[in-house]
Amino acid sequence: MSGRVEIEYCTQCRWLPRAAWLAQELLTTFEAELTELALKPGKGGVFVVRVGDEVVWDRREQGFPEPTAVKKAVRDRVAPGKTLGHSER
């Protein structure tokens, strides 16, 4: 599976800080597994997290993600079996 993660966020909604914070969380957790993390400006209320070409979180369907939920979704695709430590409890 791809080690590339993309976070597409709405610039109109000013969600860059939220996207950047989530990016930092993912890069810290998966520093050895990720090859790239992209922040992609979007419009229309978008907040979508992709691993490779697969959507793993979409705000329209699932609401805003807690970091642990996104970490689990990313982990399952880039590092199955990796423990997330205290955040998994």
Which class would CATH give 4-87? alpha beta
Please, which pLDDT band fits residue 1 given cuts at 50, 70 and 90? low
Q: How many CB atoms lie within 10 A of CB 68?
A: 15
Does residue 89 have a pLDDT over 60? Answer: no
What are 57's strand-pairing partners?
49
Average pLDDT rounded to a whole number, residues 69-88: 87
By C-alpha distance, which of 64, 65, 66, 68 is closest to 86?
A: 68
Please, which pLDDT band fits residue 85 given cuts at 50, 70 and 90? confident
Does residue 29 have a pLDDT over 90? Answer: yes
Does residue 70 have a pLDDT over 80? Answer: yes
